[in-house]
Structure 1
Amino acid sequence: MNHNSKIKKRLVVLGAGESGVGTAILGKNKGFDVFVSDKGVIAEKYKEVLRNFEIEWEEQQHTENEIMNADVVMKSPGIPDKVELIKKLQKKGVPVISEIEFAARYTTAQIIGITGSNGKTTTTMLTYHVLKQGDLKASMAGNIGDSFAKQVTKNDASFYVLELSSFQLDGIKDFAPHIAVLTNITPDHLDRYDYKLENYVASKFRIAMNQTEEDYFIYDADNKIIEEYLIKHPIRSRLLPFSLTKKFENGTYLEDGNIKITIDNNKIIMPTTDLALEGNHNVKNAMAASTVSHLLKIRKATIRESLENFHGVEHRLEKVLKINNVQYINDSKATNVNATFYALDAMKSATVWIVGGVDKGNDYSELYPLVNEKVKAIICLGVDNSKVINAFGNCVDNIVETQSMKEAVELAYKIAERNENVLLSPACASFDLFKNYEERGRQFKEAVREL
């Protein structure tokens, strides 16, 4: 052992995905003694990066005596807190943090943190799009693209727009975004929160826990869960609500088809008629993004143009092809019931709905009115479809089970008629038949193109 290893702090990274490898690089760059450990197999592209940076790593195991001597542990969001190893580290008093917490310590940039059960990816991409068009030196990270840690190592931007999941927020201690956005809260991921909604809600609100009176909290005031939580647990930051139905002195609301934003008597008004993305939920995403942009003093004309030329997110209500006048739509990113609610709500004509996967304790009842009104057939795509069949057996005459995307799409092609839709909006996670929702969406698009 070399004599200076005593001085070097030891950073152990658990999980060698995008966030893990990014953290390892930043840690190495900041002079830590870094060790990366993954219980699964590490992807070849990440092994190469670790070798290039001369970072020690192991796969398919967690060697405890290499881990327990850490000064700090960065845990990937996919690893639950309940794991024995994590409990041991916490008992020993070793800080176990997320990549977001680690990376934020090494940047002086202004951080815009965006979380919520739905809409966070679109809002993050839309906000980043406006900032770029407003010529701000901005980067986007978190759940999207290159990891936050890697970006902090490479190019320190002046602004970071971060998409944050509840799992990433569970691992923060001092992290405080200057501007926090909470798009909405609906029951999701309850399997990780002991099936208690209040645990999940508290987790989302961690985004504001270290904010001060100098910071801002932008949120959906139409969301009952958020409103009720704020009454019982007031936060310190300045509140900027947005709503489709209420009006505010400070905040953002809809009036006569216009978005009106007021912050300290500084008012801007923007029409919603030319928004690139359709649907009420996208009006809300636009409200959130434009409130951030107005706070950052971006010109109204720039905000407006950006909202009009933004193209949306892959796998989110993405129009794939029209075949025989049937529109095929990829909404693979809908991994919970509320996301699928938005998708069905946006359908203007009869729809063949492809649904199913790994259920996170879903309650499908809120979909009944929409399914009755819009869905002519249901195609189940999961290993176990019993819950979907039980939920919708009385709403729809035609329910079929399939085990592959190709089979599901070919069936949909047979059932759908002119001017109807075929919608992949699974309301579930994808891990039973696919690697992730992206792969599920890509397979859908390929199967449609092969028709």
Structure 2
Amino acid sequence: MKRLVVLGGGESGVGTALLGKAKGYEVFVSDKGKIKPKYQDVLENNEIDWEDEKHTESKILNADLVMKSPGIPPKVDLVQRLIAANIPVISEIEFASKYTDATIVGITGSNGKTTTASLTYHILKQQLSVGLGGNIGTSFAKQVLEDDFENYVLEISSFQLDDCKDFKPHIAVITNITPDHLDRYDYKFENYIASKFRIAMNQDSNDYLIYDGDDPVISNWLELHPIQSTLLPFSLVQTFENGAFLENENIKITIDNNQIIMPTKDLALEGKHNIKNAMAASTVAHLLKIRKQTIRESLENFHGVEHRLEHVLKINKVQYINDSKATNVNATYYALESMEAPTVWIVGGQDKGNDYTELFPFVNEKVKAIICLGVDNQKLLENFSSMVDIIVETQYMSEAVKIAYKIAKSGDNVLLSPACASFDLFENYEDRGRQFKDAVRNL
């Protein structure tokens, strides 16, 4: 009996353990932190051996196969020892994809991947049997075991791709590539780019890569590293024979002379970046033969994902906006770009090697005050102190929101868009976003 060791007892880990057991593996789950009670119950009920708050090496280094949570860096000693022992270390995506013949849509990118994945799923589910998983929602492995959908939309992070070897989505989407997570990639942008492109590494000419044709990072990489799949770019400024582009406020999508046209004026989501997300999702839907009318209606009634430019409340004519999901500079760029009123900006957290230069024009033009919410705000203070009259520091969300409430005047926005990871003060970006919303509701 082959031994599967799962490192990390969260959603993807427990899902992998269940699928592994069903496929005849002897399974052991190990988590250095605490496994949540709901996941402990699942493991107990399925008689799967587990431990938490430690890694017992003797029970791990005898594995035939290891699935590691994407949150565990490859450089940690235990992972290095597994690699040295020639024990394959893979991601949930890699493991689960071997047990399904479904059509897989894999979506990656520095920003927009959650919105694009959620929107793609929202369109496809009107007509197809489809599951949503990966870096979002229910574990992909668990869905393969329990639901056996004919199609999957997977949001996939670079960390998950790093542990893929044979994974081959029929349709791959790269929304964009901007510097992020550089602390995991030896502070080399090209390592991170290569990681994203792993989504297409096993594709052949029957597969598709949908990508932002306006993104120079993607275009340059494709020129130097040609891939086998059929390329379908999308753009706001160029036109393509095959792909999606904007013409007179309409999205036009052409694939092999088959064209569909979508008006942008009725899109539920605002902002230029969301036109691109809509282009990517509609191109997938068009490839999978979804009716034009269905695509159009879905784009009109999809209202976005939690913690992404989410309008929380208006208090005294001040709009409070939760963009906690903006964990890198480029995401915050989109947020600030879409602000139409003077903005009190709550920013900060765990810096991942950020360069804030691209935000300067927006900060000068739109931001009236900055509230730094992090353990170490030195870099923010150095970058922005000279640009605004008010810049303050706090380590409590409730205090950040109270300060914002005092500063903001009628007609202003208060925007939480941190541009950083949340792990210095919060459990994750969802926890940060929920605390923001609770603090706003308590004003």
TM-score, length of structure 1 as denominator length: 0.98
Shift of the alpha carbon at 1:63? 1.3
Choose from 273, 285, 291 the match for 1:299.
291
2:110 counterpart (104, 117, 122): 117
Cα offsets for 1:101-150 (capped at 9, x unmatched): 000000010000000000000000000000012x2000100011111001
1:399-442 superposed Cα distances (whole Å, 9 cap, x missing partner): 01111011000010010001110000000011111101101111
Unaligned ranges ≥5, structure 1: 1-7
Q: What secondary structure does 2:125 align onto?
A: helix
In the TM superposition, 1:51-450 aligns within 5 A as 51-133=44-126, 135-450=127-442
Residue equivalent to 1:4: none
CA-based RMSD: 0.6
CA distance in 2, matches of 1:127, 1:302: 12
Give the Cα separation in 1 of the matches to 2:206 and 2:191: 27
Structure 2 spans left out of the alignment, 5+ residues: none
In structure 1, the partner of 2:31 is: 38
User: Structure 2 CA distance, aligned partners of 1:259 and 1:323?
Assistant: 36
How much has 1:287 moved relative to structure 2?
0.1
Task: Encode CA deviations 1:122-181: one digit per residue, 9 max, x unaligned.
Answer: 000000000012x20001000111110011110100000000000000000100000000
User: How far has the Cα of 1:62 moved from its partner?
Assistant: 1.3
Secondary structure of 1:347 counterpart: coil
Shift of 1:312: 0.5
C-alpha displacement of 1:91:
1.4
2:258 and 2:115 map into 1 onto residues whose CA distance is 26
Aligned residues: 443
CA distance in 1, matches of 2:344, 2:30: 44
Distance 1:268 1:24 in 2: 43
> Given the two structures, how large is their TM-score scaled by the length of structure 2?
0.99
Amino acid corresponding to residue 148 of structure 1 in structure 2: F
Q: Percent of aligned positions with the same letter in both sequences?
A: 73
How far 1:66 moved relative to its partner? 1.0
Once the two structures are superposed, residues 19-75 of structure 1 have per-residue CA deviations (whole angstroms, 9 ceiling, x without a partner) of 111000000011100011111111111111000000001112111111111111101
Describe the SS at the equivalent of 1:101: helix
**How far apart in 1 are the matches of 2:100 and 2:199?**
17
Q: Which amino acid aligns with 2:114?
A: T
Deviation at 1:239, TM superposition (A): 0.1
Cα distance in 1 for partners of 2:33, 2:316 equals 45
**Match for 1:258: what amino acid?**
N
Tell me, in whole angstroms, the C-alpha distance in 2 between the residues paired with 1:15 and 1:244: 41
Q: Distance in 2 between matches of 1:176 and 1:450?
A: 47
**Matched AA of 1:27:** G
Match of 1:5 in 2: none
| Residue type at the aligned position of 2:33 | G
SS in 2 for 1:434: coil
1:63-105 Cα deviation digits (max 9, x unpaired): 1111111111101101111111111111111110000000000
3-state DSSP class of the match of 2:439? Answer: helix
Range moving further from structure 2, 118-127 or 87-96: 87-96
Q: What amino acid is the match of 1:45?
A: K
Hey, what's the Cα distance between the residues in 2 that align with 1:69 and 1:449?
A: 51
1:3 corresponds to: none
Query: How far apart are the structure 1 equivalents of 2:379 and 2:83?
Result: 37
C-alpha distance in structure 2 between counterparts of 1:418 and 1:38, whole Å: 49
In 1, the alpha carbon distance for the partners of 2:353 and 2:86 equals 33
Match of residue 5 from structure 2: 12
SS in 2 for 1:423: strand
Moved over 3 A (4+): none
The alpha-carbon deviation at position 281 of structure 1 amounts to 0.1
Q: Distance in 1 between matches of 2:114 and 2:139?
A: 15
Q: What secondary structure does 2:128 align onto?
A: coil
1:311 is displaced (CA, Å) by 1.0
